[in-house]
């Protein structure tokens, strides 16, 4: 769970719970592709459970109880951030899906939901899958199983090689080393439970500042 998400533990009272009988609509987006995944409803307890557990949790209007997305399928939505809209009566939830979000086996409950076209986003999602599934014979699997020190060592090596290529090698070599560095850095972030969305959010925050 990010610091941004944790910061929402205090201003619950500032949200407009009374407008809809104690429930707020919660729009869930994929943190990496920005595709809209689903719409649910949260009460105070669901929002608190979402933040404290790191798994997106809703209030089921049909069952009249809290339910965590993925509690039966294992396809959890891992929380990245929560943000209220300008009227404080709707929540935008950024999350990383651990499998299909829709009960029909689709990535999104909205089949044609647009997504940001980004190969880096696709690669980040693949790295997440490799970390979760650890398929035999995968280089990414070998990195994760080598542990943090091994991954950090590779990032250091690739950083040095990128710097040397910038000084003494042609553009093709520099691009190749930069690609290797970015890949291993993404694996390092994922090994710490982080990803491109958090890096992008920090860069945006610094730019605004």
In a domain, 30, yes or no: yes
Where in the sequence is the domain holding 88, given as residue range(s)? Answer: 3-97
91 and 8 in a common domain = yes
Distance CA 152, CA 144 (A): 11
Tally of structural domains, the chain: 2
81 and 38 in a common domain = yes
For the domain that residue 27 is a member of, what is the CATH number? 3.10.20.810
Beta 36-42 vs 24-30: how paired, if at all? antiparallel
In a domain, 140, yes or no: yes
- Are 96 and 32 contacting, i.e. CB atoms less than 8 angstroms apart? yes
86 and 43 in a common domain = yes
Which one-letter DSSP state was computed for residue 55?
B
For the domain that residue 141 is a member of, what is the CATH number? 1.10.287.1080
93 and 125 in a common domain = no
Helix (H, G, I), strand (E, B) or coil at 28: strand
In a domain, 102, yes or no: no
81 and 131 in a common domain = no
| pLDDT tens by residue, the chain, 209 residues | 454 454 444 457 789 998 989 999 999 999 888 889 999 999 999 999 999 999 999 999 999 999 999 999 999 999 999 999 999 999 999 998 988 999 998 889 998 888 766 688 778 888 988 999 999 999 999 999 999 999 999 999 999 999 999 999 999 999 999 999 999 999 999 999 888 878 887 888 888 75
Encode pLDDT of 93-129 as tens digits: 999 898 899 999 888 999 888 876 668 877 888 898 8
Q: Which of 97, 127, 144 is the last residue of a domain?
A: 97
- Looking up tokens 């939830």 gives 93
149 and 71 in a common domain = no
> What are the beta bridge partners of residue 74?
none
90 and 133 in a common domain = no
- For the beta sheet containing 36-42, the strands, ordered from the edge strand earlier in sequence to the opposite edge, are 36-42, 24-30, 91-97, 77-84
- Which parts of 34-135 are beta strand (E)? 36-42, 57-60, 65-68, 77-84, 91-97
Q: Which of 63, 97, 131 is the last residue of a domain?
A: 97
Q: Which of 45, 67, 97 is the last residue of a domain?
A: 97
Distance CA 156, CA 162 (A): 10
123 and 48 in a common domain = no
């Amino acid at each position: 769970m990010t610091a941004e998400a944790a910061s929402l533990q205090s201003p619950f009272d500032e949200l407009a719970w009374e407008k809809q009988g104690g429930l707020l609509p919660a729009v869930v987006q994929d943190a990496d592709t920005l595709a809209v995944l689903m719409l649910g409803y949260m009460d105070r307890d669901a929002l608190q459970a979402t933040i404290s557990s790191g798994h997106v949790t809703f209030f089921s209007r049909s069952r009249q109880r809290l339910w965590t997305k993925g509690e039966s399928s294992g396809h959890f939505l891992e929380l990245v951030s929560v943000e209220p809209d300008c009227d404080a009566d709707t929540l935008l939830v950024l999350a990383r899906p651990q499998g299909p979000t829709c009960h029909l086996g689709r990535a999104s409950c909205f089949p044609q939901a647009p997504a940001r076209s980004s190969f880096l986003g696709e690669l980040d999602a693949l790295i997440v899958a490799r970390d979760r599934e650890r398929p035999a014979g995968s280089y990414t699997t070998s990195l994760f199983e080598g542990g943090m020190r091994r991954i950090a060592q590779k990032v250091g090596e690739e950083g040095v090689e990128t710097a040397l290529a910038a000084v003494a090698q042609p553009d093709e070599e520099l691009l190749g080393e930069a690609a290797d560095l970015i890949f291993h850095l993404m694996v390092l972030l994922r090994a710490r439970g982080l990803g491109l969305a958090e890096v992008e959010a920090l860069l945006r925050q610094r730019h605004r500042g």
